[in-house]
Structure 1
Amino acid sequence: MAVEGDPNNLLRAVALLGAAVVAVPLFRKLGLGSVLGYLTAGLVIGPFGFGWFAHPQAILHFAELGVVMFLFIVGLEMRPSHLWGLRRQIFGLGALQIGVCTVALTGVGLLFGFPLPVAFVGGAGFVLTSTAIVMQLLGERGDIALPRGQRMVSILLFEDMLIVPLLALMAFMSPLPTDPDAPSRLASIGIATASLVGLLLAGLYLLNPMFRILAAAKAREVMTAAALLVVLGAAVLMEMGGLSMAMGAFLAGVLLSESTFRHQIEADIEPFRGILLGLFFVAVGMSLDLSVVVANWQLIALAVPALMLAKGACIYGVARLLRSSHGDALDRAALMAQGGEFAFVLYSAAMAAGIITAEANSNLTAIVVLSMVLTPLVVLAIRPLMPRTQASLDGVEEVDGQRGSVLIIGFGRFGQVMSQSLLARDVDVTIIDTDIEMITSAAEFGFKVYYGDGGRLDVLHASGAHSARAIAVCIDKPETSSHIVEVARTHFPQAKLLVRAYDREHSLKLVNAGVDFQIRETFESAVAFGEAALREVGVDAEEAAEIAAQVRKLDAERFELEMASNDVRAGIPMLLNNTGGVAPKPTPFTTPRREGRALHASEGEALPGEGAQPAD
């Protein structure tokens, strides 16, 4: 029995959430991505799987709000000036890609024997890329803000705007008699314009004052309700005007992008966006009518790859024509080669207008859904074909035969602070890093940082490690720093080795590896912070200092016990740092290792049973 028949609607929610909770982690673990996990979950629990849901279209219509909220959040990241800067990509690149793809896809439809109107409708629907899938995949990779991601976002925005004239075109192509009660085309244009103007005026003059009033009330739940009201209200207003709900939400986000409440609104919307977008993908998976696929399997099996290849080839060609790199063009073609959710709207309108039959609508819908299901797999399949991206070294000097008393590897926050003492004493230092942006920024402040991977022996030689008196490893990745320690200890024994440790476990490994000095990255600053907190609550400064010293002593004792229990550097006496007792009183930052004895400097460890702090 379908779940909808049960009066307890909670069972439906449990089924949806349970399917997602099981499928998505599994598919991500397999490297297939969350989108394919949602789609598969929907197929399994849908009417053509276990049959728990009989009417997925109702869920799909509701879950489209996930796409709406996604575009609202994208709009929040795009200030009007930035959007204006994308106008050529939206109306230039977008129009060119859509035009070329529509002609090619219509041609594919004609080759399959469809009449011209049906071929055109099928191609025009398939050209409308799935905003939800592309944005989700871009978001997972962190590419939305990159230039290649912005170009795809621009094309998606143009496609969202295109649905309006396409729906009007369906009415114009309809062979059915005109409904006398339907509003005229001129009236429809007027309503759409009025809706757009109303949204713009509300965004400019009403939204910020409303959020200021609500913020003054200090009611968090009301702010969340207001954020939802803005998103859904903008979507409904645009839908009433015959425009795209997603476009309305996007414009509302753009209008709030410079608001002081932008980050709060985004935080309030994000949980709803994630849940509803996942629900949308589940509903798409449910919508795949396997009976249609089985009945027309030959047509669908040929049409899906043919349409995806044709669209992908056109996207690649347009991208290369406009001087995109091979990698960017191939990536865009793979991500955008599928049909999208707006195709369902267009096909339904075309069927209502008598342009295509119900059977053609079912076939075209199945083709689009299958293309959406295959997209994550296509992206995985083309990954080996993608050229390896290398950062541009324009304006960046690679390390080559440098000499210095101290070689500093890594110039992040830690490396920048530790280098100040050396530079103040005019010590000759060589600094290497692999972060191009950081190297460029450091040059603006007068720091000479060379490009070089400290984990490579040849780079270390070129950096002067063979003649350096000390090598300071200041990077925040424990695996990489341990590798550098192994290479440096083997090939450059003349250099003292000072290493930034990530946590207690990493410190133990470094001492075991024979480093001359290691320091955990957050412990000492946290102890100083706690000492300051004691003083601020009224504890005497001398007593606060004694407590801080006791914290250091207890931490050093725990460290010594752990080393003993793990047989670290067996037979070598261990000294406590900075506490007296077995060791003299060295300072935690300046005492080197002498006579084979490791002086431990503590920084950066949680208490037993607690998680370690993350690296910088």
Structure 2
Amino acid sequence: MQVLLLDLVVIFGLSVMAAILCHRLRIPTSIGLLLAGVLAGPDALALVRSPHDIELLAEVGVVLLLFVVGLEISVADVSRLRREFIIGGSLQFFGTAAVSALALLPMGMNLPQAGYIGCVVALSSTAVVLRMLQERAEIETPHGRAILSTLIYQDIAVVPVMLTAPLLAGLGQASLLPALSGLVLKVVVVAALALLAYRWIVPWVLEHIIRTRSSEAFLLGVFMLCVGIALITQSLGLSLALGAFLAGFILSESRYSHQAVAVMLPFRDVLMSLFFISVGMLLDIPFLLAHPVRIALLTLAVLLVKPLIAAAAALVTGLPLRSAVLAGLPLGQVGEFSLVATQAAVAVGLLTPDVFQSVLDVAVLSMMATPLLVAASAPLSERLCGTWLIHLQSQTVDPSAAQELEGELPRSGHVLIIGFGVTGRNVARCARRCGVPYAVVELNGAIVRRASEAGEPIRYGDATHAPILELVHAEGARAIVVVIDDPGAARRIVEIARRVAPEAYILVRSRYLREVEPLMALGADEVIADELEVSIEVFSRVMARMLVPREDIQRLIGDVRGHWRQMARTLAASATSVADLKVALPHLATHTLRLKSDSPLVGTTIAASGLRLVHGVTVLAVTRADGATIADPRGATGLETGDILFVIGPEGWDPRSLS
């Protein structure tokens, strides 16, 4: 026992040092843990004297990992990403498995072994890739969603892959049909038990635990369900991993899933650290030194083939080439579940320990190369996406020919909206109601089809390339609004848009404050950061509820914005003087009045209209129907149908009093 505790102290000490070093080097912690395991292993410093006990704890960590993966995968998540999940995930997984198996057959492996290793190679590292996407704030980007759906598919696929290991190992001793029938029967029994647990057992157990209002009882109950369901599947001849995943998936559909994730995450993180270190300890350094060329070639092949297939799968789902490259490169490694699946195959005799060592070496090296792949993804995607290729793509993917649609887009004086999500649709709706011409560029083909059928002036295309902006006449746009969730693409769009339309007003919506300065430096006139604006909205409402004077709240807003003060929440900076006047003169208000054809003011002048003498309001500006604006108009200025009057007057004045 003392030896085990000493080993744990050593391992956790190495884990802390690895985590600190990885944080400073900005690389995933899992890579540092793998290297720490290599150093602590028997072939290096031999710091751990009881590796078998550590491996047992690491297996518990794998079970908890699969349990938490099941908790975090819900039917709603799969449904939201169903196109990327079903099409992209299937093409990536089976495409990689097929290519890998065909490459391994000439190397002396039989078909069951080659097929199984192909599935193992198809699995990527969820821990490494998701951590990097979170650090780069790319989860909600188009390529981030494609990566996430593929990783979910792989996490689910690892369970049936591991189930096939005993079946494939027994192909030489028994016929395929009885073995397959037995496996199907076991799966049916487990599915029936899972449905029973989902409908009645788990809700009943959790309801009784929750009534105690005891966090300890809840934690112990979640552990009991996880281990209990895992033991049931193992007693039926299936794996602990399958049971843990099913337990998590069952709990994910309950109202207590978020609390279950919260209480299990610390245990998962601790035990997963043990898993990565134990994997590093398994690395046979003499084996690696004895076969350096072989391991290097296998690693290089994985780093080339997997990104290519993943990028091709992303292209099939409708992503443009740039996003497909960004989605493919991060999936180029062999992941942690590959090691779990390979160990399961070695345990049943399907694979040899030498094969496991080869997979382990390739996994460690490919994980270490992942940060380099991700760093190279943006410049590589830009280099691959030449102008001719993007132009060809815009002609072939857009369901309507560009020549037929050319006349539908405004050529000058319009608002160009890049991105047709919630913000983009709201901007378009307001522009349409105000009679402002606009055009839209969107990357999602399904959104383009629906919006086009609804009559929106929208085009499919990747706005990170000048030909797409030229297609929608960006050079004549009065304003360009960039509202997409891809920070890298937003920077590229601003740079090109400023070059194509030097006089246009460019406004960008970003998620984080750290994006503001780079975007402003590239030519954006204003950047609205969600992070800043949401915080302002929150404290403004709280302070208003606490009866803080409005002028004090406005002053707080100015202090919070600091050097971003020019960004107003609702009006551009040029209009803030009216708001300042409102603070100084609270009895006054600004109003907007559109003159219809039946308005009594049409055909008169400002002086003759009686607006000031009769109604007590002053005209600040007039915008004509053709878009021309008259600032500080004279009394002799005539009023016409379609004019918009900006006036200031008493707080309670109603423009309808003119009729």
Compute the TM-score of the two structures, normalised by the length of structure 2.
Answer: 0.61
How far apart are residue 233 of structure 1 and its match? 2.2
- Alignment partner for residue 471 of structure 1, among 472, 476, 479? 479
Match of 1:17 among 15, 18, 22: 15
The 5 Å alignment of 1:108-507 reads: 108-109=107-108, 126=117, 129=120, 133-137=124-128, 139-140=130-131, 142=144, 148-149=150-151, 152-153=154-155, 155-166=157-168, 198=193, 201-293=196-288, 297=290, 300-301=291-292, 304=295, 335=333, 340-350=339-349, 361=353, 363-376=354-367, 393-395=397-399, 402-403=410-411, 405-410=413-418, 411-434=420-443, 436=445, 439-440=448-449, 442-443=451-452, 447-451=456-460, 462-465=471-474, 467-468=476-477, 470-475=478-483, 480=490, 484=494, 488=498, 491=501, 493=503
Aligned residues of 2:161 and 2:341 also touching (Cα < 8 A): no
List per-residue Cα deviations over 1:102-137 (Å, max 9, x = no partner): 787465247xxxxxxxx8997687556279854435
How far 1:286 sits from its partner (Å)? 0.7
Find the residue that maps to 2:479 and give its secondary structure.
Answer: strand
The RMSD of aligned alpha carbons is 6.2
Q: 1:138-158: per-residue Cα shift (whole Å, max 9, x none)?
A: 645656776655664565333
Which letter maps to 1:17? S
Counterpart residue type for residue 342 of structure 2: A
Q: 1:378 to 1:21 in 2, by over 3 A?
A: closer
Instruction: Mark the runs of 5 or more structure 1 residues left unpaired by the alignment.
Output: 111-118, 174-185, 565-572, 596-616
Letter in structure 1 aligned against 2:580? T
Structure 2: runs of 5 or more not aligned: 134-143, 176-180, 567-573, 593-619, 622-628, 632-659
Instruction: Tell me if the contact between 2:226 and 2:244 (Cα under 8 Å) persists in the aligned partners.
Output: yes
Aligned position for 2:579: 578
Q: Which of 548, 551, 560 does residue 550 from structure 2 map onto?
A: 548
1:223 shift after superposition:
3.1
**1:376–1:430 Cα change, 3 Å:** same
Using the alignment, how far apart are the partners of 1:53 and 1:88 within structure 2?
45
The one-letter code of the counterpart of 1:578 is: A
TM-score by length of 1: 0.64
Counterpart amino acid of residue 62 in structure 2:
V
Match of 1:424, as an amino acid?
A: R
Q: CA contact under 8 A between 2:481 and 2:508: conserved in structure 1?
A: yes
Q: For residue 240 of structure 1, what is the amino acid of its counterpart?
A: S
Aligned partner of residue 54 in structure 1, secondary structure: coil
Kindly state the Cα deviation for residue 526 of structure 1 after the two structures are TM-superposed.
6.4
Partners of 1:321 and 1:313 in 2: CA distance: 13
Cα–Cα, structure 1 residues 554 and 106, in superposed 2: closer, same or farther, change >3 Å? Answer: closer
Deviation at 1:375, TM superposition (A): 2.8
Task: State the secondary structure of the residue aligned to 2:580.
Answer: coil
In the TM superposition, what is the alpha-carbon distance from 1:92 to its structure 2 partner?
Answer: 12
Q: Is the 8 A contact 1:130 1:340 kept in 2?
A: no
Check the 8 A contact 1:315/1:332 in 2, yes or no.
Answer: no
Whether contact under 8 Å (1:65, 1:276) holds in the other structure is yes
1: CA distance, partners of 2:233 / 2:297? 35
Deviation at 1:417, TM superposition (A): 3.7
Is the 8 Å Cα contact of residues 308 and 337 (structure 1) preserved in structure 2? no
| SS of structure 2 residue aligned to 1:283 | helix
Deviations 1:361-404 (A, max 9, x none): 4x444333212223335766797799769898444787956335
| Worse overlay, 309-318 or 219-228 | 309-318
User: CA 1:148 to 1:559, structure 2 compared with 1: closer, same or farther past 3 Å?
Assistant: closer
Question: For 1:70-124, what per-residue CA distance to the aligned partner results, in whole angstroms no more than 9, with x for missing partners?
Answer: 33344442549979999999999989987996787465247xxxxxxxx899768
Equivalent residues of 1:414, 1:474 under 8 A apart? no
Contact 1:72/1:253, CA 8 A, preserved across alignment: yes
Cα gap change, 1:523 to 1:35, in 2 (>3 Å)? closer
Judged with a 3 Å threshold, the aligned counterparts in structure 2 of structure 1 residues 211 and 54 are, in CA distance, closer, same or farther, namely: same
Q: CA deviation at 1:206?
A: 0.6
Counterpart-to-counterpart distance in 2, 1:509 and 1:312 = 32
Distance of aligned partners of 1:128 and 1:273 in 2 relative to their CA distance in 1, 3 Å threshold: farther
Per-residue deviation, 1:203: 3.9
CA offset at residue 285 of structure 1? 0.7
Amino acid corresponding to residue 226 of structure 1 in structure 2: G
1:65-76 equivalence runs, <5 A: 65-76=60-71
Identity %: 20
- CA pair 10-490 structure 1, distance change in 2 beyond 3 A: closer
Distance 2:197 2:507 in 1: 60
User: Is this contact kept in 2: 1:39–1:285, CA < 8 A?
Assistant: yes
AA aligned opposite 1:165: L
Tell me if the contact between 1:500 and 1:519 (Cα under 8 Å) persists in the aligned partners.
yes
Q: Is the 8 A contact 1:195 1:238 kept in 2?
A: yes
How much does 1:281 deviate?
1.9
Mapped to 1, the partners of 2:517 and 2:239 lie a distance apart of 59
| Secondary structure at the counterpart of residue 430 of structure 1 | strand
